[in-house]
């Protein structure tokens, strides 16, 4: 253990720095109570350790979905599969292709929707959360159009649509596709990993 005395100059500079870093008196009084905490802070200062923060990503799959202009989440044919609170972690989302999508021809959206009925498809709330937290989007999604089949919208004329996530040039965006269209091998569904 090294010997030193914290004189008025260094103590005052430390106080100023701690105030700038939003420390409270209660925070400062915890320091002498935890020798281990002081060791950990010193390790960071010496570059032997680093501080990482953890943000828990929680998606409310039960909330009403966002509706892009011209689309509605209520009415005949629409659907919003609720799923409670989803704690989103790496690997929690996987991409799923139905057999008919693997042959190079694709499936009509209405047929694919029926085939996905027993799969843990994610709804549009997960899509919107990913747009707001793009660091959580799996790398394997780039270059694909990822529909979120848990929410089906309709327009004023009764056409049904599903929203999807895709990379456009320099950023992730959301768009939507008509269920009368084809969904091929580049359109895997976003589902929960088991």
Domain boundaries, the chain: 8-45, 57-192
pLDDT of residue 172: 96
Quick one: pLDDT at residue 190? Answer: 97
Is the distance from CB of 80 to CB of 123 less than 8 angstroms? yes
**Chain centre distance of CA 170:** 18
What pLDDT is stored for residue 11 in this prediction?
77
Rounded to whole angstroms, the Cα distance separating 135 from 123 reads 19
Report the C-alpha gap between 122 and 164 in whole angstroms: 11
- Look at residue 3 in the predicted model and tell me its pLDDT: 67
Tell me how far apart the alpha carbons of residues 151 and 178 are, in angstroms, rounded to a whole number. 13
The pLDDT, as a whole number, for residue 93 is 95
DSSP state of 2: -
pLDDT on residue 121: 98
pLDDT (tens, 9 = 90+) of the chain, 194 residues, equals 566 676 777 777 888 888 888 888 888 887 777 788 788 888 888 888 888 776 789 999 999 999 999 999 999 999 999 999 999 998 999 999 999 999 888 999 999 999 999 999 999 999 999 999 998 998 899 999 999 999 999 999 999 999 999 999 889 999 999 999 999 999 999 999 98
Supply the pTM of this predicted model: 0.74
Coil, strand or helix at 101: helix
């Amino acid at each position: 253990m090294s010997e030193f005395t914290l004189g008025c100059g260094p103590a005052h500079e430390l106080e100023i720095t701690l105030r700038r870093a939003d420390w409270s008196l209660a925070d400062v009084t915890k320091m002498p109570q935890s020798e281990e905490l002081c060791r950990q802070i010193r390790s960071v200062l010496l570059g032997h350790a680093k501080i990482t923060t953890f943000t828990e990503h929680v998606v409310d799959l039960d909330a009403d979905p966002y509706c892009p202009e011209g689309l509605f989440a209520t009415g005949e044919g629409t659907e919003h599969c609720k799923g409670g609170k989803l704690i989103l972690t790496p690997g929690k989302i996987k991409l799923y292709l139905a057999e008919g999508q693997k042959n190079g021809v694709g499936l009509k959206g209405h047929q694919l929707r029926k085939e996905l009925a027993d799969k843990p498809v994610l709804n549009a709330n997960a899509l919107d959360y990913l747009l707001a937290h793009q660091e959580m989007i799996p790398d394997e999604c780039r270059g694909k159009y990822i529909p979120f089949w848990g929410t089906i919208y309709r327009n004023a004329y009764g056409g049904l649509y599903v929203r999807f996530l895709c990379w456009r040039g320099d950023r992730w965006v959301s768009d939507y596709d008509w269920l009368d269209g084809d969904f091929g091998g580049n359109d895997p569904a976003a589902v929960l990993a088991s």
